[in-house]
Amino acid sequence: MDNYIVSARKYRPSTFRSVVGQKSLTTTLKNAIQTNKLAHAYLFCGPRGVGKTSCARIFAKTINCLNLTAEGDACNECESCKAFNEQRSYNIHELDAASNNSVDDIRSLIDQVRIPPAIGKYKVFIIDEVHMLSAAAFNAFLKTLEEPPHHALFILATTEKHKVLPTILSRCQIYDFSRISIADMVEHLEYVASCENIIAEPEALNVIAQKADGGMRDALSIFDQVASFSGGNISYQSVIDNLNVLDYEYYFRLTEAILTGNVRAAILTLNDILGKGFDGQNIITGLASHFRDLLVCRDEATLILFEVGASIRERYKEMAKRCSDTLLYKAIELANACDLNYRTSRNKRLLLELTLIQLCQLTAKGPEDDKKKGLIETLPNQEGQPVTAPTPVTVTKNPTSQPQVITTTMPVDAPVKAPEVPSASPAKKSFSARPTMGISLKEIGQKKEEVKSEANQPQTETVLSTPFDEENLLRFWKEFIDSTGEKVYLKNTMINCEPVLQENFHFEVAVHNPGQQNELTVNSIDILSFLRARLHNTKIQMRVRIVETNEKHLAYTSTERYEHLLNQNPALARLKDEFNLILD
């Protein structure tokens, strides 16, 4: 029985052409060999399983080949290539720095560097996981790395370039290996499956490639695992069962429940997923990625960012047409917030369910608030005549010293209910005759008519014009101040700016700055409603005037200072004349 060789070793690249996903780097290396412009030290860095060590071996084999092909590859027929293929070449030395990281190991390597190659041109030293060398070993290696013999060439490989000393980096040509794309991995897996006579669905290979996270070695290891599980017939279902991967179907079911606002269906789907043993955080991160994929599928320009099989791609495109960009933005934001709070949450399942409830509410349509902010145009009074609805509070700017008049939202002839008799003790609650925002005066009138018909006791509304004096005005002004509650700025403004009664039931308030003026303007309806009810007069109007204070004219020049002092003491003029003083 032949010994089994895993696919990661059996299908390891042996030429630059067979290296997957690193075309730019392999082209650079081939051109350097063909033009005979080789550096003495190279550093290959990148994630695991992307071909760093394989490229180092191919590079070492190719530069020692005695008969290169026209494409710049090794011939595999000369003595040097045969020795390399049979693993008996003395020109290529590999050192695992993870287990040989001491100064003695580096000194032994340096001793081998001095010996020229028996066959070929170069002696190549491949040091894998070079970041594991100790600081002393790095320092012992510096001089040799900087000025090696002409026949020596070093190739360093590492997954963590940031741990390599800067003095080492400066002596090497650095090649950054990138993660292998899903499309390239799927293509290579299809080639391996055809060589091994294994039937594999494209969607199944796509899931394997996503699980490998950019590493070809990991993808081949997963491929062997799933092939053993499925008996040579790799299907999508066998892959998600063997790898414990959450099926796309669950994400589509959750999205359908969210689009229809079906909270119960979303929670039941979550229960099915948790029942299969999936971790909650993996569920929510997968759902966030699902929403991201839907967002990508909404535009042909970004569709290239979506790497899945053809059949699933079409399903994503159909689902994406039903989702708006705003919905997907909010969904990704909610899923990401749940992911951030998952570790600290004590009731993790409740957090997931609450997130799904919030997602379902994104598509819930509430009643339209057509009557928000404002009142409609007319309100019938008790005689049946329409009364023009009030307009917002306005302040007329007047450049002169005339008072600035506020037009309040309550007209003079607007009917009001007969006021209640004020109690002896001042009320502590704020008094407001304004209707609730979002309800029009017409609706209020309709509701009043309904109340009348139900109670059979019609409420009479009258226009009152009871005379009052300034003393009563001040008394109820202070009573309103006590009822303002937490409106500290309004309270201070009303305390410092008292009203002055004028003709025709008008009163004036002199304020000191525009901020106080704005505070009285905003609260004018509450103030007037309170005063009209307490004073039994619906014709009360309020004016607000900013007091114009005279600016102090400061004396800046000597003449101005002299005139200022002269006004205070006229004897200074006689003193100036007697001593013949001159102003500078």
CATH of residue 187: 1.10.8.60
Say yes or no to pLDDT of 404 above 80: no
CA dist 38 and 123 (Å) reads 13
How many of the other CB atoms lie within 10 Å of CB of 86?
8
Q: Is residue 290 domain-shared with residue 148, that is, in the same domain?
A: no
Domain boundary among the residues 136, 152, 176 is at 176
Q: Using one digit for the tens of pLDDT, what is the confidence trace for 496-528?
A: 888 988 888 888 888 888 878 888 888 888 888
* CATH code, domain with 163: 3.40.50.300
SS3 570: coil
Shared domain check, 150 and 25: yes
In a domain, 369, yes or no: no
- Of the listed ranges 158-172, 376-390, 537-551, 559-573, the one predicted with least confidence: 376-390
User: Taking residues 50-65, what's their average pLDDT?
Assistant: 89
Mean pLDDT of 62-72: 84
| Mean pLDDT value across residues 420-437 | 40
**Cβ-contact 41, 154 below 8 angstroms:** yes
392 and 536 part of one domain: yes
- Whether 373 maps to a domain, the answer reads no
CA 194 – CA 211 distance, rounded (Å): 21
Of the pLDDT bands very low, low, confident and very high (cuts 50, 70, 90), residue 466 is: confident
Do 277 and 348 reside in the same domain of the chain?
yes
Domain that holds residue 557: 550-584
Query: How far is the C-alpha of 334 from the C-alpha of 284, rounded, in Å?
Result: 10
Question: Residue 430: is it exposed, middle or buried by C-beta count within 10 angstroms (0-12/13-18/19+)?
Answer: middle
Residue entry with tokens 């699980």: 211
Q: How far apart are CA 288 and CA 339, in angstroms?
A: 9
Sign of the four-CA dihedral 158, 47, 29, 37 = negative
**How far apart, in whole angstroms, are the C-alpha atoms of residue 503 and residue 541?**
10
The whole-number average pLDDT for the span 412-430 is 41
Question: To the nearest whole percent, how much of the chain has pLDDT over 90?
Answer: 11
Same domain, 440 and 325: no
CA 483 to chain CA mean position, Å: 45
DSSP 408-446: -SS-TT--EEPPPPPPSSPP-S----PPPTT--HHHHHH
Based on the fold, state whether residues 160 and 37 are members of the same structural domain. yes
pLDDT (tens digit per residue) in 268-292? 999 988 988 888 888 999 899 889 9
The answer to whether residues 516 and 416 belong to one domain is yes
Which of 152, 176, 200 is the last residue before a domain boundary? Answer: 176
Cα–Cα distance, 202 to 90 (Å, whole number): 43
- Same-domain status, 189 and 266: no
* pTM score: 0.56
Beta strands (DSSP E) in 14-168 are: 41-45, 92-96, 123-128, 152-158
Average pLDDT over all residues of the chain: 78
Give how many domains the chain has, as a whole number: 5
The enclosing domain of 339 has a CATH number of 1.20.272.10
